Chain A
Amino acid sequence: MISAVTFENVSQHFGSVKAVDQLNLQIDEGEFFAMLGPSGSGKTTCLRLIAGFQKPTAGKISIFGEAVQDVPPYRRNVNTVFQDYALFPHLTVAENVAYALKIKKVNKTTRQKESEKALEMVRLGGYGKRRPSELSGGQRQRVALARALINKPKVLLLDEPLGALDLKLREEMQGELKTLQQSLGITFVFVTHDQSEAFSMADRVAVFNEGKIAQLGTPEHIYHRPNDLFVASFVGSSNVLDRDQLNVIGVTGEAASLRPEAIQLNEGGDKNATVISKNFLGSSIKVVVEMDFGQLSALVDHARGDSIVVGDNVNVAWDKEALHVMSGTDA
């Protein structure tokens, strides 16, 4: 099977900064792929390399098997939803959406029909005559999406598409994007620094760190089996234990992660820890306990957590498999 996007030893250097460093990557056709990482980790640069806004310093990039590193953006069958949406202020919403068709010299009636259809797809039917400035942030985001999809691209790139939206709208759009991707069957590649966004939408996630991919896999795999300390700490607020701490509990290894929700409080056994803080998070309660080797944070439900008071002595335990010993140690 031909993969949608392939990176072979791709590097992008800006002076002495290695934004992307000797990167290899395969994105499959029809998958929802997330590039996750902190700012400056090279994820946005990778997206721009696929779009063609930048030329790699070295390496080979192919889209559906065709080498594209010397192909300008306007000849790539790839479209982008920009972080700032980049809607043209001098055009109406319908003209923005139909921009790619106008460039292809499609006649006006078809253009109007297609743009209305694309707007209906993102639930903005009837908004065509307005100006982008008259729309809310969420609506502009949908217009940008409709504009990028009107050409039926082979790959759709999304650069922090939900970054500017408020929490409720963001969650709503996450669901919509996922549904849209499944119904269209187009390969979606999106960049985000928000792990919950990446996990809730993507089939596979690549975690970026310093121009390289620290780990690539399904959300479940990355969450439960982080490769190294960087991934463990970036992906959610995991407890990370170093070698000395592991020694205390009789485990050998360089480092290990322990998910807060895998920790059991007062399921029986000796009182081996002291509660030092308790935070109400809504659906669950976060309890930080002090043990003989250090602090751990635990997420517990109300049945367990409601009765716990700061200063209590409690029993702390976890299943053996929950403690994930990692190979890599670089943070």
Chain B
Amino acid sequence: MPNPHAIKPAGGGVFARLSDLFWRRPGVLLLTLLLPPVLWLGVIYIGSLVALLAQSFFSIDEFSGLIKYELTFKTYLELLRPANLDILVRTVSMAAMVTLAAAVIAFPIAYYAARYATGKWKVIFYLGVMLPLWSSYLVKVYAWKLILAKEGILNWIVEKLHLSWALDGILAMPVIGGNSLSVSYIGTFLVFLYVWLPFMILPMQASLERVPLSFLEASSDLGAKPAQTFWAVVFPLALPGMIAGSIFTFSLTLGDYIIPQIVGSSRLFIGQAVYSHQGTAGNIPLAAAFTVVPIIIMAFYLWFAKRKGAFDAI
């Protein structure tokens, strides 16, 4: 005779029945959870990206300004024209410099947070890193424009310190200099660096969290001086986080069109080129071709990082 107390009665209602169904068929639960994001990312996002990229294989008729729907590499050849090539080189060098500087500045901060900060100090670290992300990006960029302007606070401090000669010397340098910091590449660089820095610190800190103190002790125990321990143990283990951070800083710099427009010389970056070509100029094929460049650069960068063993520790 079955014991009536061995099984609890089935709960009534839709949710109880759903719970039973999900338990019996775990696949149904997985499908329910994954369907919305797959639709969103896979179909709407990737789909429209592919549609845009497909445009880069069309070209524009120079006389009518209409798009010719024939497959051609003509638009890509146009990217190689000196004016366009300048834009690519300028943007990629800026992104590389910003990424490198962000990695150098982020490391000590991330290292401190991972190794030493506990309790209250960890909260302060997270707040300090995240707080700038809470305010509008435009507000921050305009604030920087004011800071870097000729009449701005930075100039004032430099003057009070009697270091104007040094700043003038830097601004007198070709390419990176300008009338003031706010209209020079140095200014653009500083703002990029400030705005993207949290995206480098956080993944780097996460990867350093996974380096236990015993690794450092073991390295030292085996005869490695602190600098050797850094290069042989800490750096390789922090590398995946550094790469993750650099993907953010690099690709965000490659695609941004607001910062170079507000702070810097009037010379174009990729983002501005895309903006103007797909907007006023109506040259969607060229805009699409410009968009392909960062994607290819990132793909190549990741392939290279993987080949160099950057992800071995994951």
Considering only residues 231-286 of chain A, those with a C-beta below 8 Å from chain B are none
Considering only residues 100-114 of chain A, those with a C-beta below 8 Å from chain B are 100, 102-104
- With A90-B236, A90-B237 as contacts: A82 and B222 at CB distance below 8 Å: no
- With A90-B236, A90-B312 as contacts: A100 and B215 at CB distance below 8 Å: no
A79 to B220, CA, bound (A): 10
Instruction: Flag if B222 contacts A103 (CB, 8 Å).
Output: yes
Nearest-neighbor residue (CB-CB) of B229 within chain A: A74
- With A84-B214, A86-B212, A90-B236 as contacts: A72 and B222 at CB distance below 8 Å: no
Q: Which of B217, B218, B219, B312 has the most CB of A within 10 A?
A: B218
Instruction: Flag if A82 contacts B232 (CB, 8 Å).
Output: no
A74 touches which of B215, B224, B313 (Cβ 8 Å): B224
A78 to B313, CA, bound (A): 28
Chain A residues, CB < 8 A from B236: 90
Q: Which of A78, A79, A83, A86 has the most CB of B within 10 A?
A: A86
A27 to chain B, nearest CB (A): 18
Chain A residues, CB < 8 A from B218: 80, 82, 86, 88
Nearest-neighbor residue (CB-CB) of B217 within chain A: A53
**A174 contacts B by Cβ under 8 Å:** no
Nearest-neighbor residue (CB-CB) of B220 within chain A: A73
A153 to B265, CA, bound (A): 62
Instruction: Flag if B220 contacts A72 (CB, 8 Å).
Output: yes
Instruction: Flag if B232 contacts A103 (CB, 8 Å).
Output: yes
Number of A-B contacts (CB under 8 A): 64
Chain A residues, CB < 8 A from B219: 88, 99
Chain B residues, CB < 8 A from A52: 220-221
Instruction: Flag if B232 contacts A102 (CB, 8 Å).
Output: yes
Chain B residues, CB < 8 A from A51: 217, 221
Nearest-neighbor residue (CB-CB) of A84 within chain B: B214
Nearest-neighbor residue (CB-CB) of B311 within chain A: A90
**A147 contacts B by Cβ under 8 Å:** yes
Chain A residues, CB < 8 A from B224: 74, 99, 103
**A62 contacts B by Cβ under 8 Å:** no
Instruction: Flag if B313 contacts A89 (CB, 8 Å).
Output: yes
State which size class the interface on B falls in: 20 to 34
Residue-wise, chain A 294-321 has the 8 Å CB interface mask toward B (1 for contact) of: 0000000000000000000000000000
Nearest-neighbor residue (CB-CB) of B236 within chain A: A90
Instruction: Flag if A90 contacts B217 (CB, 8 Å).
Output: no
Chain B residues, CB < 8 A from A151: 222-223
A211 to chain B, nearest CB (A): 22
Chain B residues, CB < 8 A from A100: 222-223
Nearest-neighbor residue (CB-CB) of A53 within chain B: B217
Instruction: Flag if B222 contacts A79 (CB, 8 Å).
Output: yes
Instruction: Flag if A86 contacts B214 (CB, 8 Å).
Output: yes
**B160 contacts A by Cβ under 8 Å:** no
**B244 contacts A by Cβ under 8 Å:** no
- With A84-B212, A84-B214 as contacts: A74 and B233 at CB distance below 8 Å: no
Instruction: Flag if A74 contacts B237 (CB, 8 Å).
Output: no
A104 to B225, CA, bound (A): 11
A79 to B221, CA, bound (A): 6
A302 to B212, CA, bound (A): 50
Chain A residues, CB < 8 A from B313: 89-90
**B228 contacts A by Cβ under 8 Å:** yes
A98 to chain B, nearest CB (A): 10
Considering only residues 190-230 of chain B, those with a C-beta below 8 Å from chain A are 212, 214-215, 217-225, 228
A140 to chain B, nearest CB (A): 13
Instruction: Flag if A86 contacts B215 (CB, 8 Å).
Output: yes
Chain A residues, CB < 8 A from B221: 51-53, 73-74, 78-80, 148
Instruction: Flag if A88 contacts B225 (CB, 8 Å).
Output: no
A165 to chain B, nearest CB (A): 18
Nearest-neighbor residue (CB-CB) of A80 within chain B: B221
Chain B residues, CB < 8 A from A80: 217-218, 221
B32 to chain A, nearest CB (A): 34
Considering only residues 257-314 of chain B, those with a C-beta below 8 Å from chain A are 309, 312-313
Instruction: Flag if A147 contacts B237 (CB, 8 Å).
Output: no
A99 to chain B, nearest CB (A): 5
Instruction: Flag if B222 contacts A88 (CB, 8 Å).
Output: no
A100 to B223, CA, bound (A): 6
Instruction: Flag if B215 contacts A147 (CB, 8 Å).
Output: no
A100 to B218, CA, bound (A): 10
A291 to B54, CA, bound (A): 95
Chain B residues, CB < 8 A from A84: 212, 214
Chain B residues, CB < 8 A from A83: 214
Chain A residues, CB < 8 A from B312: 90
Residue-wise, chain A 141-161 has the 8 Å CB interface mask toward B (1 for contact) of: 000000110010000000000
Residue-wise, chain A 126-150 has the 8 Å CB interface mask toward B (1 for contact) of: 0000000000000000000001100
A67 to B146, CA, bound (A): 60
Instruction: Flag if A147 contacts B233 (CB, 8 Å).
Output: no
A130 to chain B, nearest CB (A): 13
A83 to B222, CA, bound (A): 16
A79 to B219, CA, bound (A): 10
Residue-wise, chain A 191-210 has the 8 Å CB interface mask toward B (1 for contact) of: 00000000000000000000
Chain B residues, CB < 8 A from A73: 217, 220-221
9 more A-B contacts (CB under 8 A) besides A84-B212, A90-B236, A90-B237? A51-B221, A52-B220, A53-B217, A74-B223, A82-B217, A82-B218, A99-B222, A99-B232, A100-B223
What are some 24 contacts across the A-B interface (CB < 8 A)? A51-B217, A51-B221, A52-B221, A53-B217, A53-B221, A73-B217, A73-B221, A74-B220, A79-B221, A80-B221, A82-B214, A82-B218, A84-B214, A86-B212, A88-B237, A89-B313, A90-B237, A90-B309, A90-B312, A90-B313, A102-B232, A103-B228, A103-B232, A148-B221
Minimum-distance CB pairs A-B, first 5: A86-B218, A86-B214, A100-B222, A90-B313, A73-B220
